[in-house]
Each structure stands twice: as C-alpha cells, then as structure tokens.
Amino acid sequence: MKNSLKIAICGATGLVGRTMLKCLDDYSVPIDKIVLYGSSKSAGSEIHFRGEANIVKELTIDNIDPDLDYALFSAGGGPSKIFAPEFAKRGVIAIDNSSAWRMNPECPLVVPEVNPDALKKHANIIANPNCSTIQMTLPLKALEDKFGLERVLVSTYQSVSGAGQKGVDKLNHEMNGVKDEALSKMPIFENTLFHSFNDDSGYTEEEVKMINETRKILSLPELRISATCVRLPIIGGHAESVNVRLKRDFDIAEIKETLAKFPNIIIMDDDKNEGYPTVKHSEGRDEVFVGRIRRDESAPNSLHLWVVSDNLRKGAAANAVQILVKMEEMK
Ligand SMILES: NC(=O)c1ccc[n+]([C@@H]2O[C@H](COP(=O)([O-])OP(=O)(O)OC[C@H]3O[C@@H](n4cnc5c(N)ncnc54)[C@H](OP(=O)(O)O)[C@@H]3O)[C@@H](O)[C@H]2O)c1
C-alpha cells in the first residue's frame, strides 16, 4: 500500500476494536493519524498503538474528525446507524462491523476473497458481514464457482466472544461461581444457548443474518439455505457444520482440490491422526480452516464440511482491515 492513511476506530476499547488495532499493525497499514473513539464510559482512557499513547474520545457529532480516510466501526448497531452516515457525508469511508447497514442495497457487504467487486460502487458505507457468515462464504464461493450450490444447511458452534466483552465476562464469571445474566438469564457455562429471538418466525436473529447475508454476498438471492446457530462455552473461535448439496456430482478429491485452491482456505483433513480443525487451530489466524470433508450419502450430490475460524479476526476485525487494504489496492 502506497498512501499513508488517516484512520479512526469507533469502538476502539471493545474486543473487535482492540483486534482491529492489532490487525492494522499485522497488515502493516501505513498510518499517519489514528483517532480512537468510544462511549462516554471510556472517553479519556489511553490506548497504545505503535508505541504511542492515544486518548480515547467520546463519539459525538461535535467530536467527528473529518480529516480522515477511513472510520472502522465496531461500536454496535445504534452508534453505527447514527455516526456512519455522519462520517460518510464528510467524505470518510465507514467500514462497519455491526448489522446496521448489511442489508441496505446501497451498501456493499464484503468478504474480500469472495466478492471484492462489490467495493467498486458505494456511498462511503461498507458493511462487514456477521462473523458466522464470513467464514462459511469462502468454501461456499469455491463450490458455487465450480459445481453450483443447490442447497446449504448450517449448524454453528459459536464462542462467547462473538457477543463481545459481556459474553466473555459472563463465561468467566460463571466459571468462578458468580451469576451473570448478560445475554441470557440461563448460564452459558456447561450449557448451550441460542441467540435472541426477535420475531415469531422461529428463527433467531443470528440465523436470519446467516441466511440473508450469505445470499447477498454470493449474489444468489434465491439460494436455498437454512441455519441453526448455537452459543457454546468457548472463549474464542466459531465452528460450523455445513451440509451442501451441489448442482452436479463430484468426487471428494475434486472437492478438496477446489477448496485448497481458494485463497485463505486451509484444508485439515487427516482425521485419523486428529488432524481436523478445532477452534484452537484458528486462534489468531485469518484463514478459514476446513475439515471433515465427506460425502453425505443421504442425498444426491451432497457433502459435509466442518468450517472453523477466529471470529474476532476473520469474523470481524481482520475482514474489515482486509476490506480497507483491498479498497486501497483497487484505487
Ligand atoms: N465479537 C465478534 O466476534 C464480532 C464479530 C462480528 C461483528 N461484531 C460486531 O462488532 C461490534 C462490536 O463488538 P465487540 O465484540 O467489540 O463488542 P464489545 O467488546 O462489547 O465492545 C463494544 C465497543 O463499542 C463501544 N461503544 C458502545 N456504545 C458506544 C457509543 N454509544 N459510542 C461509541 N462507542 C460505543 C464500546 O466503548 P466503551 O468501552 O466506551 O463502552 C466498545 O469499544 C458489534 O456491532 C458486534 O455485533 C462482533
């Protein structure tokens, strides 16, 4: 990347915001100005980046710095709805991690390995997909291009960090015998929970996101896809069992070859020697790990995949930084 950039992080004190700072460094993004925003709660606190202390500012209209190239948002849907358009109208490109803008037809919803061309047309707000959605779209895109997707069924095994700091705190409190009713009145420790149910459809909010966002990213509005999303007592990393029915028959070697060729997919398929992906393999990594690749004999042209990724990196912060890098490369 040639140009030195001016970047803001809105939600810099959160799990994703802190990981964004790490990713900007890991991707060697040239930066000559960094502005860090949080809520009134963390305003005035200090965050170190590249050896310098930065004071967190409260995110308010009056505090918006218009002299920026990008504002990376990880402050939740409410602040994104209010502030992303304010940055956008000042000429700053907002890359937003919340669900506020994902299904807006004016906003590209982007996984750089999958649909980078969507970045060619935008109105200064780019949406980063949901963490569970991002990791699944890499193998699905590879399979769609070569075989065509007929139907997708996914079940997730998601960590508590996907719900932010309060999710991590809940698990830690409960492991120490302290009651914590964040996310649910029920415990997550030694338990399984679903995400929130916002309507009478029978689907959780997370399941609806996975369905709608996958269709948008793959430009397959009619894709037959369904999801069951489950939260587990794991700190970091999301795993998914993905069952795919393809438009034509295949042999498994061809599937493995197709997936292995796709950027940032790592195949781990030595099952007998415990060489399958776990969330521990994905920790701190930006690739998507795929294993348990096998034919599903119960239906024609069908297969099972096990898809694992670091939800805070590829599922959020790294994907946002990769979008920024891609936009600079496309200039
Ligand atoms: N965790 C994941 O795996 C993941 C994946 C994909 C997308 N996301 C999305 O990313 C966003 C952040 O998630 P997270 O996991 O980082 O949550 P988190 O750890 O709870 O952090 C939330 C951040 O938002 C800030 N914030 C809250 N209200 C604000 C306001 N009114 N104005 C300015 N800043 C405000 C907080 O600042 P204070 O410290 O001052 O309160 C904090 O920095 C959410 O929209 C989430 O859905 C998360």
Which residue lies with its CA nearest to atom 15 of ligand 1? 164
Report, as residue numbers or ranges, the catalytic residues: 131, 238
The closest-lying atom of ligand 1 relative to the alpha carbon of residue 164 is: 15
Question: Mutation test of ligand 1: which of 16, 102, 172 has the most ligand atoms closer than 8 Å to its C-beta?
Answer: 16
Q: 0.85 exceeded by the pTM?
A: yes
Q: Say which residue the tokens 């490109």 belong to.
A: 93
Instruction: Tell me which residue has tokens 């069908």.
Output: 302
Q: Which residues line ligand 1 (CB under 6 A)?
A: 10-17, 37-39, 41-42, 59, 74-77, 79, 97-98, 131, 161-162, 164-166, 311-312, 315-316
122 CA to middle of ligand 1, Å? 24
Collapse the DSSP code of 279 into the 3-class scheme (helix H, G, I; strand E, B; otherwise coil) and give the result. helix
pLDDT digits (tens, 9 = 90+) for 9-32: 999 999 999 999 999 999 999 999
pLDDT along the chain (331 residues), means of 10: 91 98 98 98 98 97 98 98 98 98 98 98 98 98 98 98 98 98 98 96 98 98 98 98 98 98 97 97 98 98 98 98 98 94
Side chain identity at residue 4, one-letter code: S
- Atom 8 of ligand 1: nearest residue by CA position: 97
Per-residue pLDDT, 1: 74
Closest residue by Cα to atom 10, ligand 1, is 74
Burial class (CB in 10 A: 0-12, 13-18, 19+), 106: exposed
- Mutational test site, ligand 1, from 9, 10, 13, max ligand atoms within 8 Å of CB: 13
Q: What is the pLDDT of residue 239?
A: 98
CA of 72 to the centre of ligand 1 (A): 11
Q: For residue 18, report the distance from its CA to the centre of ligand 1, in Å.
A: 10
**What burial class does residue 250 get, using C-beta atoms within 10 Å of its C-beta: 0-12 exposed, 13-18 middle, 19+ buried?**
middle
Position in ligand 1 atom list of the atom nearest CA 43: 40
- HSE toward the beta carbon, residue 252, CA cutoff 13 A: 12
Closest Cα to atom 3 of ligand 1: 162
The residue ranges of DSSP E strands in the chain, in sequence order, are: 5-10, 31-38, 46-49, 52-55, 57-58, 70-73, 93-96, 125-127, 149-158, 193-194, 224-231, 238-246, 265-267, 288-295, 302-309
The residues, any chain, with a CB within 8 Å of residue 126's CB and separated by 6 or more, are: 93, 94, 95, 96, 107, 108, 110, 119, 323, 327
Per-residue model confidence (pLDDT) at position 3? 81
